[in-house]
Structure 1
Amino acid sequence: MNPLFRTNPFARFIGLAGCLSVGLASAAAESNTAALEEVTVTSQLRDASQLDTPTSVSVFDGQAIDARGAHNLEQLLNLAPNVNFSSGASRGRFVQIRGIGERSQFIDPVNPSVGLIVDGIDFTGLGLAASTLDMDQVEILRGPQGTVYGANALAGLITMTSNAPTSEPKAKVSAEVAEYGSHTLSGVASGALSDRLSYRLAAQNQQSDGYVENRFLGRDDTNGLDETVVRGKLRFQARDDLQLDFTLLHLDADNGYDAFSLYNNRETLSDQPGRDAQETLAGAVSALWTGSDGFTLKTVLSAADSDTEYSYDEDWTYVGFHPWEYSSTDSYLRNKDNLSADIRLLSTERSSLFGGTTSWVVGVYLHTEEEALVRNASFNSQFDTENGAVYGQLRTAFTDRLALVTGLRFEQRAADYADSLAVLSKTDEDLWGGDITLELSATDNTLVYGTVSRGYKAGGVNGRIISASASNPDISRDAFQFDTEYMLNYELGIKGAWLDSRLQAQLATFYQDRRNVQAKQSIFDPADFSFDDFLANAAGGKTTGLEIEVDYLASETLRLFASAGWLNAEFEDFESTSHVDARDDYTGEVQPLDLDGRDLAHAPSYQFFTGAEYALSANLALRVEVEGKDAFYFSNSHNEKSTAYELLNARLTYTGDNWDVSLWGRNLTDEIVYTRGFYFSNQFGNNPANGYAPEAYYQLGEPRIAGVSASYTF
């Protein structure tokens, strides 16, 4: 590799873009090329074309999901600019958008920054439920969704919508075999049960040994996957003006968790490997009524019951490895039940306000959630929340090309916390968010917009720290609670379709001003050499960034696509009290570290995705992708960082009349990717072989892997 490209990450991206430019130039002479399909965004208050939606949003349809070979949301996240994720589990379950988002959950409940909705069901904080089985569309909205979703969407919102039932009979079976004992089998059936009732049934089982070998146990499946998903849908056209949709989902994920090695490789020594499991039964009922000239009624009622287990071998080794035969495991069993209802009225042309210039939306949202935790059978807690919100939006057209959109959401939230250590807390908050957007249709195919939006994230209690304060005098009462976080997001964007809709592009630049930033901290307890996590509020944070997505159908045989994000996300006036480099020997005394101006954790300064699809013949197509990401801090508690990387993926697909087969490979150059990292200081070393010296440990991402996929449609 050219040394310039090795040392300059932007040169790498420019070089890749240059290669694509050659393809663009050679293909631009093609004429009579079909246009790119129009994509509809469904996660806003009204459905609209992606290129008419005044916000930064990435949309991946079923074809893009299949081309990526994605079985879970985590395999799509690198396609969206300024979106990152952290593992620390069998999958990347925690998402960060524009540098904001949780990275883990242990004892205390969390208030998520990124919402996750699957077929109208709230799975926020339950990433294993994000299967892409028979998925029609995945939408990733960046920036606060204060009007649309509220408290759990400070950073953004991810919605996933599976395919709807069809009136025509259809069936499809798919299979995949890959290295590391990986195999997947899925099936879909759809059709009509009567003139007004249709169904769709989809099921999938995915298994893999994983990429880790446990040398102590002599096993290669301790970090493996075993996930089964079954989804059933009914669509009932009760009347010409009333459509009812029913969804039922069952998930059974029994994954292993044995990811960390004392030698930072794929060989572990644990004698009690953990589990990352989730069993969910969930359902939703939605209704669309168009029987009034004055409004359209949309309602969604959903419920989900999820039991999860997150456990691991805390010492990563076996009894006898440490001189004093230290051995420890940790286990978190959670049950989460949630129920939500969203009732929305949308104006019609007849009921528009101010002489027909202003359309409107009003809605009511109710959500209750109960979360019960049992840790190591010795500690339990109960966290119950109730959210009630009213929201509305106006869109006023000043001219045929200029419009103003205003949205507002008022939310009341009540949260009750209690645990077995006699900690009790009750918090009630009134929260509000919204947005003001000016839209300009510069041409028939070009939208320019400017947005100011306000998001919020509820405050709460640090139950674990309150309990730990009884034995640790270093803990101040200031750490017992954390305040609500607010953010103002300023965004300018342009998007459109050109060259007879063969070229589609989006460009957005933004500035985010955060107040009372919620940041995870920890306190070292010298009594048992443990760390107790808690949330604290930094004074503020500043984030600036740029996002671009381009899709170009250069000819009938060549399609080019790319996305890129640049991000500068920093703390403002924040001193970390948990920085491990700032501790003195075994006393636990802390010298606060000034993090003012330091980048947030899991916020790479750049990332990109680019590739091409080329039809080698009428039946044979080649897809090549390159994705990359800058180094980023793993935590706000230490200065360990990942390494920058670029991954090369390829897929060769042959398509027959009603079948297809693909040969594919990911990470073809076998790059080492770090998805999670920890730092052990001299107060909490982990390896006696090096005298318990300070050392960083990493969870490794997917290595080079190849496989074959096939499907048959009846």
Structure 2
Amino acid sequence: MKFQKSPLLVALTAAVVLPVQASTVDNIEEEVVVTADFRQADVQTIPEATTVVGEAAIEERSADHLESVLSLAPNVNFSSGASRGRYYQIRGIGERSQFVDPVNPSVGLRVDGIDMTGLGGGAGLFDVQQVEVLRGPQGTRFGANALAGMINIESNAPTDEFEGMVSGKLGNYNTRALGAAVSGAVSDKVKLRLAAHKNTSDGYMRNAYLDRDDTQNIDEQLLRLKAAVELNARNQLDLTLLRINVDNGYDGFSLDNTRTTYSDEPGKDVQNTNAAALTWTSEAADAFDLRVHLSGSNSDTEYSYDEDWAYGQYIWMSDDPVYTPDPCDTTQGECLADADGYSSTDRYLRDYQRRELDLRLTSSEQGRLFGDSTDWVVGYYRMSRDESLDREYTWTGPFDSELETASQALYGELSSVINEQLSLTLGLRAERWSTDYNDSNSIDEDRTENLWGGKITAEYLLNENQLAYASLARGFKAGGVNTDPDISEANRTFDTEYNYAWEAGLKSSSLNDRLQTRVAAFYILRKDQQVKSSYAIPNDTGGFTFQDYLANAAEGQNYGVEVEFDLALSEQVDWAFSGGYLKTEFLDYQYETDDGTFSMNGREQAQSPEYSFTNRLNYLLGNGFSLTVEQEAKDSFYLSDSHNEKSSAYQLWHARIGYDASQWQLALYGRNLTNVDYEVRGFHFGNDPRDGYTNERWVQYGTPRLFGVEGKYYF
């Protein structure tokens, strides 16, 4: 038998056989602290799979948005279908989109302690200290918001000393960015940090009909104020005020599956968020510390698009598109019976209001239990989310809905030292989840559930440089309601999904701490798996409309391996690797369409590439110059659970040449240097009148070749 070498296998083999030299190099690794857990700890000591993308790695990627750094975490993917990737999948679990129906997320997103789940379009990375990706159910800490994991973005904190920074960027596609941050103490007790940033681009599509290059433009603004107030020696207040304005275009699909569109009414991808978080930490007693966290946000969003991707009737003649008058009189709501094409738009206006309260007691050294062997955490959590939707759709007219979600939870964790090598941690969360939904189609559904989950972890210190661990977790995601008025009552609601996740890992440090390694193997059994089904139904106008609904698959399974390491090859060269191997499968799932019953048993789950990895080499050239080269690769994967279209496997190359002086930096960057077309969203339906609306494969592409210059000045 001849084995085929996959790109991941080649990369992992290189990691194993690489000759390591210069063994006398001093320890150059710095502690990387994870802030999202109950107790802040180094990433090498946390007994779970966690990736931290620090400020240096963000800078080396010239990354301005979360989507640009997610590949640095193993088995993490994203789906676009908008101007930015804002729907995330961890280990094959996560949503791909949102249209009419309310969505309970599988992957949580938090920015400076503020819940931004489902609002990833505003996840900018200016003045960010680090991005933390916690993989696996986070039931004890975050509950129903983190079935698959949590992504936590932490910006830079206020400093004691006065400092500031100004940055700028110029690139192709008329890319421009300008930002500034200033930080320091305004008194003995108060420290402030203010950051502002604006990022614009024409985007990467050309609209031939409108003769414009900016219908998929980027226009993003950020304003953030952080304050740290020392009330006294035992009490501190931390305040974050955040304003995000995103006014991007959305014109991502073409009838020719290229970067040239023909839409007469391009869409928008808008998010305006005002948010605040206030945290009071107190050494309330000798036995425990108190943490009170309050956060809230108001977000107005618009997601809209030209549904026909053209101007009315679209006729192909030779090599040029020819446009005839719009066959549909949309002002009268009528369509000509003999029209060969159609024209329609779809517009979703959503308003979100979110409030959170988290009260937590954490044991101190004096408060440990059972002979000073056991640390403890106990907390109370309360959340409310209100989501209102106004839909404006050509074929159905106005539609509106209201969803009110409330949750209360009690949680706790015990961490016991059994002996010098062995420790056990037990976490548990009980949550009461309530929803109230109603809409203009007279659908009115109330739902209340009692949910619980948690985690038990054993960690064993093999020696002072190696930590082994094993865990069993139970994650949960609440059920909900399908809103399509034509759906069968049997599919009107869907149930809670529970995941049982086994994980084992090894974290080690060697070669005088020059090599940091993290390896994890996992198996997830998905019970009552929530699966989004979507299929096109012919309408009376010659086009198609979609029927979307969520249903429960009987079971699914996801398992794989993840490897990360950071290696200082010499004083000048660092090598970072992150790789994931993932297998997913529906064990028992079928769904109904107008064409009959389809079985998905044995098929892979959507957004689940079998392999994905990144390699990054950073070389200090001397005299302030540095070179960073990155390789990013991903296997093909199904683009949806409701059709069989797959993305293409791809490999991307990035590079950056930088110059670092005492107070300023200058860099030339290039992303996707070989200009690979890779897919970030895909559908299978009929939308082209030239072939009678035959079902076809439609895709949206990720970023093409990007290059530019960027600089920073520190003061």
Q: Tell whether 2:123 aligns with 1:119.
A: no
In structure 1, the residue matched to 2:227 is 234
In structure 2, the residue matched to 1:160 is 153
Q: Any idea what the Cα deviations from partners look like across 1:334-366, whole Å, max 9, x if unmatched? A: 000000011110011111111111110000111
In structure 2, the residue matched to 1:471 is none
Equivalent pair of 1:338/1:368 in contact (CA under 8 Å):
yes
- Residue 66 of structure 1 aligns to a residue in which SS? helix
Residue of 556, 559, 580 corresponding to 2:571:
556
Letter in 2 for 1:532: Q
Residue of 437, 452, 459 corresponding to 1:432:
452
Cα displacement (A) at 1:299:
1.7
Alignment of 1:189-200 (within 5 A): 189-200=182-193
Cα displacement (A) at 1:222:
0.1
5+ residue gaps, structure 1, are 469-474, 579-588
- Residue 7 of structure 2 aligns to a residue in which SS? helix
In structure 2, the residue matched to 1:625 is 630
Equivalent pair of 2:8/2:612 in contact (CA under 8 Å):
no
Equivalent pair of 2:314/2:690 in contact (CA under 8 Å):
no
Deviation larger for 81-90 or 66-75: 66-75
Structure 1 residues 17 and 429 mapped into 2: Cα distance closer, same or farther (>3 Å)? closer
Equivalent pair of 1:459/1:483 in contact (CA under 8 Å):
yes
Cα displacement (A) at 1:400:
1.6
Q: Tell whether 2:292 aligns with 1:280.
A: no
In structure 2, the residue matched to 1:539 is 554
Letter in 2 for 1:356: D
In structure 1, the residue matched to 2:330 is none
Residue of 534, 555, 574 corresponding to 2:589:
574
Instruction: Find the aligned partners of 1:476 and 1:21 in 2 and give their Cα distance.
Output: 55
Structure 1 residues 283 and 618 mapped into 2: Cα distance closer, same or farther (>3 Å)? same
Q: Tell whether 2:683 aligns with 1:678.
A: yes
Cα displacement (A) at 1:192:
1.0
Equivalent pair of 1:33/1:555 in contact (CA under 8 Å):
no
Equivalent pair of 2:8/2:579 in contact (CA under 8 Å):
no
- Residue 150 of structure 1 aligns to a residue in which SS? helix
Instruction: Find the aligned partners of 1:396 and 1:411 in 2 and give their Cα distance.
Output: 25
Q: Tell whether 2:297 aligns with 1:304.
A: yes
Residue of 631, 638, 646 corresponding to 1:641:
646
In structure 2, the residue matched to 1:486 is 498
Q: Tell whether 2:680 aligns with 1:660.
A: no
Cα displacement (A) at 1:279:
0.2
Q: Tell whether 2:709 aligns with 1:708.
A: yes
Q: Tell whether 2:339 aligns with 1:338.
A: no
Instruction: Find the aligned partners of 1:261 and 1:593 in 2 and give their Cα distance.
Output: 29
Instruction: Find the aligned partners of 1:216 and 1:527 in 2 and give their Cα distance.
Output: 26
- Residue 141 of structure 2 aligns to a residue in which SS? coil
In structure 2, the residue matched to 1:586 is none
Q: Tell whether 2:302 aligns with 1:290.
A: no
Equivalent pair of 1:576/1:636 in contact (CA under 8 Å):
no
Equivalent pair of 1:558/1:615 in contact (CA under 8 Å):
yes
Residue of 345, 364, 377 corresponding to 2:380:
364
- Residue 52 of structure 1 aligns to a residue in which SS? coil
Cα displacement (A) at 1:243:
1.0
How many residue pairs are counted as aligned between the two chains? 684
Q: Any idea what the Cα deviations from partners look like across 1:379-400, whole Å, max 9, x if unmatched? A: 0000000000000000111102
- Residue 426 of structure 2 aligns to a residue in which SS? strand
Equivalent pair of 1:258/1:312 in contact (CA under 8 Å):
yes
Cα displacement (A) at 1:525:
4.3
Equivalent pair of 2:481/2:492 in contact (CA under 8 Å):
yes
In structure 1, the residue matched to 2:606 is 601
Q: Tell whether 2:476 aligns with 1:456.
A: yes
Instruction: Find the aligned partners of 2:227 and 2:447 in 1 and give their Cα distance.
Output: 40
Cα displacement (A) at 1:594:
1.2
Residue of 497, 503, 507 corresponding to 2:515:
503
Q: Tell whether 2:467 aligns with 1:447.
A: yes
In structure 2, the residue matched to 1:477 is 489
Instruction: Find the aligned partners of 1:225 and 1:202 in 2 and give their Cα distance.
Output: 20
Deviation larger for 253-262 or 665-674: 665-674
In structure 2, the residue matched to 1:71 is 64
Equivalent pair of 2:554/2:589 in contact (CA under 8 Å):
yes
Cα displacement (A) at 1:215:
0.1
In structure 2, the residue matched to 1:395 is 415
Cα displacement (A) at 1:47:
1.1
Q: Tell whether 2:422 aligns with 1:421.
A: no
Instruction: Find the aligned partners of 2:254 and 2:548 in 1 and give their Cα distance.
Output: 23
Equivalent pair of 2:111/2:152 in contact (CA under 8 Å):
yes
Cα displacement (A) at 1:34:
3.3
Q: Tell whether 2:163 aligns with 1:170.
A: yes
Cα displacement (A) at 1:687:
1.6
Cα displacement (A) at 1:281:
0.2
Instruction: Find the aligned partners of 1:331 and 1:424 in 2 and give their Cα distance.
Output: 23
In structure 1, the residue matched to 2:324 is none
Instruction: Find the aligned partners of 2:575 and 2:155 in 1 and give their Cα distance.
Output: 26
Instruction: Find the aligned partners of 1:109 and 1:270 in 2 and give their Cα distance.
Output: 28
Cα displacement (A) at 1:16:
4.8
- Residue 271 of structure 1 aligns to a residue in which SS? coil
5+ residue gaps, structure 2, are 316-338
Normalization by structure 2: what TM-score?
Answer: 0.94
In structure 1, the residue matched to 2:236 is 243
In structure 2, the residue matched to 1:472 is none
Cα displacement (A) at 1:61:
1.3
Letter in 1 for 2:701: L
In structure 1, the residue matched to 2:245 is 252
Instruction: Find the aligned partners of 1:318 and 1:527 in 2 and give their Cα distance.
Output: 19
Alignment of 1:215-230 (within 5 A): 215-230=208-223
Instruction: Find the aligned partners of 1:688 and 1:225 in 2 and give their Cα distance.
Output: 31
Q: Tell whether 2:121 aligns with 1:128.
A: yes
Normalization by structure 1: what TM-score?
Answer: 0.94
Equivalent pair of 2:185/2:192 in contact (CA under 8 Å):
yes
- Residue 506 of structure 1 aligns to a residue in which SS? strand
Q: Tell whether 2:363 aligns with 1:347.
A: yes
Instruction: Find the aligned partners of 1:141 and 1:48 in 2 and give their Cα distance.
Output: 13
Instruction: Find the aligned partners of 1:307 and 1:573 in 2 and give their Cα distance.
Output: 39
Instruction: Find the aligned partners of 1:335 and 1:264 in 2 and give their Cα distance.
Output: 32
Same amino acid, percent of matched pairs: 46
- Residue 102 of structure 1 aligns to a residue in which SS? coil
Equivalent pair of 1:522/1:577 in contact (CA under 8 Å):
no
Q: Any idea what the Cα deviations from partners look like across 1:513-572, whole Å, max 9, x if unmatched? A: 111000011365455442210100000101111001010012110101101000001111
Residue of 609, 613, 617 corresponding to 2:618:
613
RMSD between aligned residues:
1.5
